[in-house]
């Protein structure tokens, strides 16, 4: 249920865009993200750092989109978020005792350090790549196509990446866990 709630602002953005325009969708996604962070805080008494960063970026980039009436700001937000995720994943290999992916999944999997590091690097490269794909879509397609990419393309890329990750992980899971 928590994972589905992550898509709440994206879904609200898409619906508002289809019924109105990019500016109404931007206003709606700002409100939806504030609601999402608020609900997360009241339910868990904790909000992840990346959720705070996402909220800050949606307020800044969404606010600039509305104030300057320029849709490029909201389009850039996706790339900036993806690049920050990618940098955070790759940077976590050099800061702290465990890379991000190991911190998130070590309760479920027992893998050698080298595999955790490789997996973490793959996640970092994935996020950075999605950021660049977004830039390509921004500049080579119209807003309708960009909204579809943001709403359906990015989650589809994530799904495919996770499926490939599972195939990669399967051969590294010790026999007792298979």
- pLDDT tens, position by position, for the chain (178 residues)? 566 678 899 999 999 999 999 999 999 999 999 999 999 999 999 988 888 999 999 999 999 999 999 999 999 999 999 999 999 999 999 988 888 888 887 777 778 888 889 999 999 999 999 999 999 999 999 999 999 999 999 999 999 999 998 888 887 666 665 4
E-assigned strands of 8-163? Answer: none
Structure tokens at 56: 């800050």
Contacts of 40 (CB under 8 A, 6+ apart): 5, 46, 47, 51
C-alpha to C-alpha distance for 100 and 132, rounded to whole angstroms? 22
pTM (predicted TM-score) = 0.87
> What DSSP state is assigned to residue 176?
G
pLDDT of residue 110: 79
Q: What angle do CA 87, 8, 132 make, to 5 degrees?
A: 30
Query: Can you tell me which residue has the tokens 């298979």?
Result: 178
- Counted residue by residue, the chain has a size of 178
Report pLDDT for 20: 96
In whole angstroms, give the CA distance from residue 154 to residue 157: 5
Domains of the chain by residue range: 1-70, 76-178
Contacts for 28 with CB less than 8 Å, ≥ 6 apart = 12, 13, 15, 16
């Amino acid at each position: 249920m928590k994972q589905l709630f992550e898509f709440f602002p994206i879904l609200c953005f898409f619906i508002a865009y289809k019924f109105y325009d990019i500016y109404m969708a931007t206003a709606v996604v700002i409100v939806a993200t504030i609601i999402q962070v608020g609900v997360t805080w009241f339910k868990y008494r904790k909000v992840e750092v990346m959720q705070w960063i996402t909220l800050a970026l949606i307020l800044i980039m969404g606010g600039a989109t509305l104030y300057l009436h320029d849709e490029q700001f909201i389009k850039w937000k996706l790339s900036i978020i993806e690049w920050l995720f990618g940098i955070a994943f790759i940077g976590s290999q050099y800061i702290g005792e465990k890379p991000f992916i190991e911190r998130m999944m070590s309760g479920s999997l027992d893998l050698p350090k080298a595999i955790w590091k490789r997996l973490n690097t793959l996640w970092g490269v994935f996020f950075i790549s999605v950021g660049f794909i977004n830039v390509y879509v921004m500049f080579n397609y119209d807003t309708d196509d960009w909204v579809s990419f943001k709403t359906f393309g990015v989650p589809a890329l994530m799904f495919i990446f996770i499926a490939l990750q599972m195939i990669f992980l399967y051969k590294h899971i010790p026999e007792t866990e298979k």
